[in-house]
A and B are shown apart, each in its own frame.
Chain A
Amino acid sequence: MSEIEPGATSSTHRRAWPALLSITLIVAAVALAFAWVAGWLTPGRLTPQRFTNAIEAGNGQIYRGFRRAHAKGVCVAGYFEGSGKGVALSSAALFAPVRTPFVGRLSIGGGSPYGLDGKARVRSMALQLNSADGQQWRMAMNSFPFFAVSSVQAFYEQTVANAPDPTTGTPDPAKQAAFATAHPEFARFADWAKTAPWSTSWANTTFNGVNAFRFINGSGEIHNVRWSMLPQTAFEAMTPEQRATVDSDFLSEDLQRRLVQAPLRWTMLVIVAQPGDPTSDPSQAWPDYRQHVDVGTVVIESSTPQDTGACRDINYDPLVLPTGVTGSDDPILAARSAVYAVSFNRREHDIATGKAAAATGDAKAQGRRP
């Protein structure tokens, strides 16, 4: 190997092509593997990006800077006060009898920031609780008692079936019917949507965590749980006439009126599963007589518009959890985490690139100038 002779050079050249071919093949194989993992080679694979595209299509247009779902809402602030009873179930610091501050958000379902409150079947509460130990617990809950469907794929199909038809501007009833037939569990949800009474306020609405989680206590015992926020404000139902005539923003107007008078409270009830209760299917409620534990009180003290409020740039990813709480085997949780991240990335990108004047309050500010 010490000297290059003319013969050696040509023999090196003769040997070069198999080596070059091998190098090319190796590099190409690694690049292809990367592209496959990224989903670039499989346009049919359902990814968080494609799910979010379907949600945006269902919204009829892209509302820049707004959440791609639950777009209309207000920021709220307050605290959670533990009752101490949750400590037996979970070692999360906020279950001790202490106050844990939160930045929250009350919203309505739907992708339009201009949705009509009187028409929104689904209302929501999201909380980011910041414990003294530096840990966070994020939760996003809805007024429905169980999810519409039992799988991620089914929710995608529902999103597609509910999208406005480009010619009519409204969803195609045939597609919706086909979806309902393909997913029999949806009948339960449709029945709830039709028959459940509408409350008059966010303040007297029950919000349900819907997905199952695992609580781990100080001795390492694990319980499967779900939870609900039960309003301490008395329930009052809206009549269909009221719903048709209320102001399109009546929920936030009502909230402000109430908060001027007093803080609003919800009891956090934890429902403990029995062996055999379905944890992986959020479309199935657990029987009512399961053990309920009152673990504390959610207290909302103030609200601010979302365009400038602290909740705007928060992604209420339900898998941001403190020690003592983990996700369950419910596959919807991982899908939510993935799709919320895409929705969050897109709306923060809209804001950063100056495309989101309506979402950041800049439109209002400019409108006020002479």
Chain B
Amino acid sequence: MNGPTALNEVSPARATTHFNRPARLLHWGMALAIFTMLFIGIGMVASLSLRPILVSLHRPLGIAILLLVNVRLFNRLWRRPPSLPADLPSAQILAAKASHWLLYVLMFAMPLIGWSMVSASGFPVVMFGGFALPPIAPHDATVYAVLRAAHTWLALLLFVTVLMHLAAALFHAWVRRDGVFAGMARGPRVGGQSARGGMDESGEPPPPM
């Protein structure tokens, strides 16, 4: 398959083919955290029994995501990510880039809206035990109602974007088999040791069927 020509050559000057280790750790850790947040969030507002325990997990985990996305954005701007395969249709390149930046925007927006929405409701923004964050929005009905609605709609947008991202990642892994998935799944292999496990040289897992 026509990846960037440097894909299979090991030379110091080759293009980056894989995200660096911090990027990969942040990606998979945050993927798990965001999925958890979406399910906790949608579940806690629909439960007559689990709300208290779930809200008390939801707040600190959301703030943890806010802290991590700062590190992640810094790393993303600092270290060049691998470029997309040269033969990827331009519509797909556009979709990939736009959705990645949308994900970044939402990873910042969701926790910030959560924090300011809780502030605007007049509730203490409790993290754990007696420790609470300071309010970052005025206690006000209109401010609260707007942020509360935004928290729901942007959460749904985030969920849909994450699902499309998942579908696209699996499409790269199983249909195009172009190394894009491997770029996030693992680090580059040093020459000679590349054929290992069940992965082919592009590093993709075998298709499921």
Tell me the A residues contacting B by CB distance below 8 Å. Answer: 1-4, 12, 15-16, 18-24, 26-27, 30-31, 33-34, 37-39, 45-49, 51, 133-136, 152, 312-315, 317, 319-320, 322-323, 327, 331, 333-335, 337-339, 341, 344-345, 348-349, 351-353
Number of residues from B at the complex interface, CB < 8 A: 46
Q: Which residues of the partner chain B approach A19 to less than 8 Å between Cβ atoms? A: 170-171, 174-175, 207-209
> Are A47 and B46 within 8 A (Cβ)?
yes
Q: How far in angstroms is the closest Cβ of chain B from A109? A: 20
Q: Which residues of the partner chain B approach A320 to less than 8 Å between Cβ atoms? A: 123-124
Listed A/B pairs (9) with beta-carbon separation below 8 Å = A12-B175, A19-B171, A21-B209, A23-B171, A34-B39, A47-B46, A337-B51, A348-B141, A353-B145
> Are B140 and A313 within 8 A (Cβ)?
yes
> Are A22 and B52 within 8 A (Cβ)?
no
Closest to B208 in A: A22
Closest to B202 in A: A1
Q: Which residues of the partner chain A approach B154 to less than 8 Å between Cβ atoms? A: none
Q: Which residues of the partner chain B approach A334 to less than 8 Å between Cβ atoms? A: 48-52
Q: How far in angstroms is the closest Cβ of chain A from B42? A: 4
Residue among B50, B123, B130 making CB contact with A315, cutoff 8 Å: B123
Residue among B124, B170, B175 making CB contact with A16, cutoff 8 Å: B175
Q: How far in angstroms is the closest Cβ of chain B from A215? A: 15
Q: How far in angstroms is the closest Cβ of chain A from B123? A: 7
> Are A27 and B166 within 8 A (Cβ)?
yes
B38 at the interface (CB under 8 A from A): yes
Q: Which residues of the partner chain B approach A51 to less than 8 Å between Cβ atoms? A: 48
Judged by DSSP, the binding face of A is helix
Q: Which residues of the partner chain A approach B145 to less than 8 Å between Cβ atoms? A: 345, 348-349, 351-353
Residue among B46, B163, B201 making CB contact with A48, cutoff 8 Å: B46
Q: Given A136-B124, A323-B129 in contact, is the A351-B39 Cβ separation under 8 Å? A: no
Interface centre among B39, B43, B46, B167 (most CB of A within 10 A): B46
Interface centre among B122, B159, B200, B202 (most CB of A within 10 A): B122
Top 9 A-B pairs, shortest CB-CB distance: A352-B145, A18-B209, A19-B174, A39-B46, A323-B130, A352-B142, A351-B141, A37-B43, A338-B51
Q: Given A337-B51, A345-B148 in contact, is the A20-B175 Cβ separation under 8 Å? A: yes
Please report which residues of chain B, range 107-156, place their CB below 8 angstroms from some CB of chain A when the two chains form the complex.
121-124, 129-130, 132, 139-142, 144-146, 148-149
> Are A4 and B2 within 8 A (Cβ)?
yes
Q: Given A30-B163, A348-B148 in contact, is the A18-B139 Cβ separation under 8 Å? A: no
Q: Which residues of the partner chain B approach A348 to less than 8 Å between Cβ atoms? A: 121, 141-142, 144-145, 148
Residue among A37, A135, A152, A327 making CB contact with B48, cutoff 8 Å: A152
B92 at the interface (CB under 8 A from A): no
Q: How far in angstroms is the closest Cβ of chain B from A90? A: 13
Interface centre among A19, A33, A49 (most CB of B within 10 A): A19
B45 at the interface (CB under 8 A from A): yes
Q: How far in angstroms is the closest Cβ of chain B from A20? A: 7
CA distance A34 to B39 in the complex (A): 6
Q: Given A18-B207, A22-B170, A34-B42 in contact, is the A335-B48 Cβ separation under 8 Å? A: yes
> Are A34 and B1 within 8 A (Cβ)?
no
B8 at the interface (CB under 8 A from A): yes
> Are B167 and A27 within 8 A (Cβ)?
yes
> Are A315 and B121 within 8 A (Cβ)?
yes
CA distance A341 to B58 in the complex (A): 15
Q: How far in angstroms is the closest Cβ of chain B from A352? A: 3
> Are B149 and A349 within 8 A (Cβ)?
yes
> Are A27 and B124 within 8 A (Cβ)?
no
Q: Which residues of the partner chain B approach A23 to less than 8 Å between Cβ atoms? A: 167, 170-171, 174-175
Q: Per-residue 0/1 for B145-185: is the Cβ within 8 Å of any A Cβ (1 yes, 0 no)?
A: 11011000000000100010011001100110100000000
CA distance A221 to B207 in the complex (A): 57
B47 at the interface (CB under 8 A from A): yes
> Are A26 and B170 within 8 A (Cβ)?
yes
Contacts A322-B130, A345-B148 known; 6 new A-B pairs at CB < 8 A: A18-B209, A19-B209, A24-B167, A136-B123, A320-B124, A348-B144
Q: Given A18-B209, A22-B170, A30-B163 in contact, is the A313-B46 Cβ separation under 8 Å? A: no
CA distance A314 to B123 in the complex (A): 8
CA distance A335 to B47 in the complex (A): 8
